[in-house]
Amino acid sequence: MSTTICQVMGFLVSSLGVGGSIMATAMDTWSTQDLYDNPVTAVFQYQGLWRSCVRQSSGFTECRPYFTILGLPAMFQAVRALMIVGIVLGILGLLVCIFALKCIRIGSMEDTAKANMTLTSGIMFIVAGLCAITGVSVFANMLVTNFWMSTTNMYQGMQNVQNRYTFGSALFVGWVAGGLALVGGIMMCLACKGLIPEESRYKAVSYNASGRNISYRTGPYKGYEADPKTRKGVGYEEAPRSEDGRRPYPSKYDYV
């Protein structure tokens, strides 16, 4: 029962993580304009992975997608790639995990196959979580670097060079989603141990011959002679014996 609970909880937690990664990737608030020095402004800017938006004080919002790929920074494109890879691995892990659930029986699937599928989905969830956390962290590092560069330029008298951007809500969603996917993958890997069947122990089995037991005895000459009691059967006729117990002529059951 504990194995099933761990597997189901891992599936649910990983599902939340994958869903959060998709949501974070689609959000436009990866970076927002810093309003610390200018709290009252007519234009508020924020950016995402796919487009940049401008919101005016009147409530009108205009978003413009990035029409170029080669013109974007290399680190920015790396963040895109990490998030996409994490989402793809997470979705594949969910598909594999659905068929690996112990509470779902499909045909004559053995527990060993379910254990392997559970381990595979767990590894996928772990990698997906690491991709999400890494991508968000790289983007956050870019923001921190640009923020302090903009701050330095402001103190040098170049206030209108560029706006400062700070962390947006999408970064926190991505961190939480990556952590959930990572925890769910660990739970799936732990559930895999409980699904592996224990090694069967084989006991020694004694086999008896189907035929009648044959006893052997030694004689004054080399060879053997079967017990007369066990060799009587259909069509057997014992030759007459003399007074001293010997047959007058050899029988077909005498072996020399």
Query: Cα dist. 179→24, 75, 130, 131, 144 in Å?
Result: 13, 22, 8, 10, 22
Confidence of residue 205 (pLDDT cuts 50, 70, 90): very low
Confidence of residue 89 (pLDDT cuts 50, 70, 90): very high
Cβ atoms of 128 and 21 within 8 Å: the answer is yes
Which pair of structure tokens corresponds to residue 208? 């008896």
Q: Is the pLDDT of residue 66 over 70?
A: yes
152 vs 2, which has greater pLDDT?
2
Global pTM reads: 0.69
Which pair of structure tokens corresponds to residue 57? 């004080």
Half-sphere exposure of 164 (CA within 13 A, CB side): 20
DSSP letters of 153-208?
Answer: HHHTT-TTS---EEE-HHHHHHHHHHHHHHHHHHHHHHHHHHHSPPPPPPPP----
Position 206 scores a pLDDT of 45
Mean pLDDT of 116-125: 91
Return the beta strands (E) in the chain as ranges. 31-33, 43-47, 51-56, 61-65, 165-167
Position 256 scores a pLDDT of 46
Confidence of residue 4 (pLDDT cuts 50, 70, 90): confident
89 vs 202, which has greater pLDDT?
89
Position 227 scores a pLDDT of 52
81 vs 230, which has greater pLDDT?
81
Confidence of residue 217 (pLDDT cuts 50, 70, 90): low
Q: Is the pLDDT of residue 35 over 90?
A: no
CATH number for the domain whose boundaries are 1-29+69-194: 1.20.140.150
